Amino acid sequence: MKLARAKTPEGVVTGEYNSGTLHTETGSYEVGTEELLAPCEPGTFYCVGRNFAEKIDQMDYEVPDRPDWFIKPAVSLQHPGEPVVYPEWTEELTYAGELAAVIDEECTDLTGETAVRDALRGWTVLNDLDALDQERRTARKAFDGSAPLGPVIETDIDPRGVDIETYVGGELRQDATTDWMIFDPYETISFLSERYTFQPGDVISFGSPANPGLVAPGEEMAITYEGVGTLRNTVVAPDGDAG
């Protein structure tokens, strides 16, 4: 089942999304992709890095012996389909297509796969934008609009063995599978839950495969995780020019 949030004449509604129709407790709405919002409202993004062996080799990183993560704040959220404004203070904006889990209930100290499954709303797609020429992770990654998310949450999928493709400007940039992750998604969520109390809507992402790269105004970023969906955003210049 796919869950979505959308703008309607009655306000923002949430429900089951199927072939352009959003079914809610109060009725059904015909919803275009341009009306879909991020499928949740995260208080915090917990983003795992260095989690694909091929990318570690490409970037000449050391293989971590436990999940390596950073945090993005709520203001990092960007809705699917909305333009990504190229920050004026960087010359090296990069994309990274990531699978992400959405927390469904307040929880902490989750032990075992079953406990993690029970705490999740489902799975969605994140684009971990990065201003690569800035110093340290917070400056690079935790800025306004740096976490495009969506467009839907898939509630019934095994996150292992999921294929990913990322196209930028129509060119295939990433082609991989979640089988290449170093740390299993359930293992990662359990590990982080030892340190944090997750809140409903919080997002945990699991890193990007090889070939994250630069983007420029006018280029569309399209990230597809098999069985989950495709997240699309176009980069625009600070003045709103799409190039």
Q: How far is CA 137 from the centre of its chain?
A: 17
Structure confidence at residue 243 (pLDDT): 65
Structure confidence at residue 60 (pLDDT): 55
Question: Residue 91: is its pLDDT beyond 90?
Answer: yes
Single pTM value for the model: 0.94
| pLDDT (average), residues 15-34 | 92
| pLDDT (average), residues 60-69 | 78
Average pLDDT of every residue of the chain: 93
Q: Given CA atoms 100, 105, 107, 110 in this order, what sign does their dihedral have?
A: negative
What whole-number distance in Å separates Cα of residue 9 and Cα of residue 92?
39
| Torsion, CA 38, CA 218, CA 47, CA 114, rounded to 10 | 50
| Confidence band for 159, pLDDT divided at 50, 70 and 90 | very high
- Domains in the chain (CATH in brackets) are 1-37 (2.30.30), 40-236 (3.90.850.10)
Share of the chain above pLDDT 70, in %: 96
Q: How far is CA 230 from the centre of its chain?
A: 11
- At 133 the three-state DSSP class reads coil
What whole-number distance in Å separates Cα of residue 108 and Cα of residue 14?
26
Which helix H or strand E contains 16, and what residues bound it? Answer: strand 11-18
Q: What is the pLDDT of residues 78-87, one digit of tens each?
A: 999 999 999 9
Q: What is the pLDDT of residues 99-155, one digit of tens each?
A: 999 999 999 999 999 999 999 999 999 999 999 999 999 999 999 999 999 999 999
| Confidence band for 65, pLDDT divided at 50, 70 and 90 | confident
Question: Residue 55: is its pLDDT beyond 60?
Answer: no
| pLDDT (average), residues 8-23 | 93
Q: What is the pLDDT of residues 195-240, one digit of tens each?
A: 999 999 999 999 999 877 899 999 999 999 999 999 999 999 998 7
| Number of Cα atoms under 13 Å in the Cβ half of residue 138 | 1
| Confidence band for 32, pLDDT divided at 50, 70 and 90 | confident
Residue 64's Cβ-count burial label (10 Å; 0-12, 13-18, 19+) is: middle
Question: Residue 56: is its pLDDT beyond 60?
Answer: no
**What DSSP assignment string belongs to 63-117?**
PPSS-EEEEEEGGGEE-TTSPEEPPTT-S-EE--EEEEEEE-S-B----SHHHHH
What whole-number distance in Å separates Cα of residue 100 and Cα of residue 69?
13
| Confidence band for 10, pLDDT divided at 50, 70 and 90 | confident
What whole-number distance in Å separates Cα of residue 124 and Cα of residue 5?
13
